[in-house]
Structure 1
Amino acid sequence: MSLSDRARLVALSLAAAALLSACASTGIAVNNADQTEQLAPVQTGSVSTTALPPIGPNGEVQGPAPIDPTGMTPADPNAPLQTANADGSIDTLPAVGALPNSSGRDLTGGLTIEKLLGRWTVVSGADQCQLNLTQTQKAGTGRYRASAPACTLKGLSVVASWTIAGTQVQLFDENGDIVAALILSGNRFIGTLSGGQGISMVG
């Protein structure tokens, strides 16, 4: 046997050993499900089908409004909004028509700092406060200064700064703790104070 044949034999033996060691047990036990375990059959039900309304050239649905299969009527967007508080009580926010008149701010196309600057009216139940949002940077933060002078709403009276976080307006106290979070809903913002009290904001 020549030296090159021995080298090939050794290389082949090493490759076979490596291959076999890769197939060896690792000591990890696999717990297989009991083969006799039976699954419960799926309950059958009826499926109803209806034709979809045609789609217009701009992607809008044409024809009459679709019927809700649950039989529920859609909520009135101008009806008062009820929010649950952390203590289990429920606050009813006034309907859009009951809120103070909006100054006609254009809140379409995404929130920007410029769209939110100025005076806003914050309502919770029968209580109202004026909230001032400025573009003055609050030192040491990435937020802007805010104030609610003479506000009697617990939590909102201590507001010191504000920011936009995605589609949310967040209000903070002097310590940097969040005191309120609101999201855009039509021509107003709705949300809660840190204690869970429901609020609405129009400007």
Structure 2
Amino acid sequence: MTNLKVLISGASVAGPALAYWLHRHGFQATIVERAPALRDGGYAVDFRGEAHLTVLRRMGILADLERVRTGTGSMSYVNSAGKPQAELPADMFAGDIEILRGDLARILYDATRQHTEYVFGDSVTSLAEDAHGVTVSFEHGAPRRFDLVIGADGLHSTTRRLARQPPRARPHRARLPHRGQARRAAQRPPQRRSQGRLLLRRAATGCGPP
């Protein structure tokens, strides 16, 4: 499944990182970002362990990250007189590589801009899905067609909200049990917790009792 057109909403870290791997597997990625340009600032991002470092090597950006790493040192706790009371080592905070979020976003952008279309200063306003793809309307640009739309635009994602409208709330009806039903329920022996967890697990997976 290649040559599919994918729209990603959000050009921070997740969006460009996803665009990189989509391109590696034959997809055509477009990233739309509400901001007029890449956003600077933000908290530091830590990469820890061989799993993280292996991914960075495969993306070809490990050396770029090492050049702009923060180099956070140890942290000391002092009393009111300024005398050190305790010290925490740097590897508790910085991991193997620590980099500012803005620097990471710039590196990912540079690694993807040759094969990824970036649209700054615009945002998704509506999604209309059919059997062949999704028609996307934008705040400023003309509507476009994509095979897939992905929301990478933060905690309060507009894209995910548009794609997954909340279901209608069902009206609540108070219902009292029949006297005989209440008596039978009171006489029923309690079940063990493990049975309750098992029933919940079956319900979540759509499997009935054996």
Length-normalised TM-score, structure 1: 0.20
Q: Which structure has the bigger radius of gyration?
A: 1
- Point out the structure with the larger strand share: 1
Length-normalised TM-score, structure 2: 0.19
Which gives a bigger RCO, structure 1 or 2 (Cα 8 Å, sep 6+)? Answer: 2
